[in-house]
Structure 1
Amino acid sequence: MSARQEVMDRVAEVNAQFYEAIENGDLDLMQRVWADEDDAPDLVCVNPGWPLLRGRAEIMRAWALFMANVPYIQYVLTETTIGVSGETAMVTCEENVLTAEEDTPGFIAGGQVVTTNLFVHTAHGWRMWSHHASPVLLDDADEEE
């Protein structure tokens, strides 16, 4: 396996851990996924419907609240592409999201989000620097297919 492929595999693993942390409500894992601000200044997180989050403390607080209030969420990632340049990596993908509400047994809602996740190589390995997710708005023709 080439060195470049090894790096891409490590970045893919950390990207997968990000979604695993959300799905399992694992704040400890989420904290390990994100870089420290000494390694990656100006950490940024943008999710649909959220305000722009800056800084590790603000991002972790928001994820803690999200995880505490979402009883079920599952991500099926498609169209995933990884690019690496030096000590920075970018993962783009489509998040196909399934959620369910606690008070409505069996009800599952879905949606699609396009995402760019940036990673930086640190002394602790690859860590997330930025997460930016934007909803895909489907028109009536797309929904009928």
Structure 2
Amino acid sequence: MTPRTAEAAQVEQANQAFYDAVERSDLDALEELVLTGPLAETVSVVHPGWPVLRGRREVMRSYALIMANTDYIQFFLTDVEVAVEGDTALVTCTENILTGGPAEEEGEMGSLVGGLVVATNVFRRTPEGWRLWVHHGSPVMAGAGEDDENGGNGDEDDAGEGAA
């Protein structure tokens, strides 16, 4: 494995650890993955439908709120691309998200909802390893990017549907 490939693999592991922590609602694990130190106030996140949140404290608060209000979430990552340049790494991916609402009766799982979000995650190399610096998630609208039989982009019939 070349050094560049090894770096990319380490970044991809850090990226997966980020999603694993959110899936498990493990705020302590997420705390370890998010950048600290002199750049802590430059940490930022854009959750789908939210304004940009800046500063490590606000970012961690947002994840605490999401974890407290999400009964079930699972990410299936596709189209993962990693680029490393010096001490910065860029990961782009598609988050295929499955979420569940509250149980309707004791012992029963609530309804499941799927959605697509394209994400950009930026990591910084630290002495402790790669740490998340920026996360930006944008919902994918239903039919976006698909050509219909008339040569259009398929958006005419799909406007307003399927936001994740």
TM-score (norm 1): 0.92
Runs of 4+ in 1 over 2 A off after TM superposition: 103-106
**Which protein has the bigger strand share?**
1
- Work out the percentage of aligned pairs sharing the same amino acid: 46
Q: Distance in 1 between matches of 2:9 and 2:28?
A: 22
Contact 1:72 1:100 in 2 (8 A): yes
State the shift of 1:41 in Å.
Answer: 4.9
Identify unmatched segments of 5+ residues in structure 2.
Answer: 144-156
Higher Cα Rg: structure 1 or 2? 2
Bigger share in helix = 1
Q: Which position in structure 1 is the counterpart of 2:14?
A: 14
Structure 1 residue 39: Cα displacement:
4.2
Over the aligned positions, Cα root-mean-square deviation in angstroms equals 1.6
Greater relative contact order (CA < 8 Å, ≥ 6 in sequence): 1
Q: Which runs of structure 2 are paired with 1:1-145 in the superposition (5 Å)?
A: 1-39=1-39, 41-104=41-104, 105-139=109-143
TM norm structure 2: 0.82
User: 2:42 aligns to what SS in structure 1?
Assistant: coil
* Secondary structure of the corresponding residue to residue 38 of structure 1: helix
Aligned residues: 142
Q: Deviations over 1:15-44 (max 9, x none)?
A: 001100110000011111110141455111
- Indicate if the aligned counterparts of 1:37 and 1:56 stay in contact, CA closer than 8 A: no
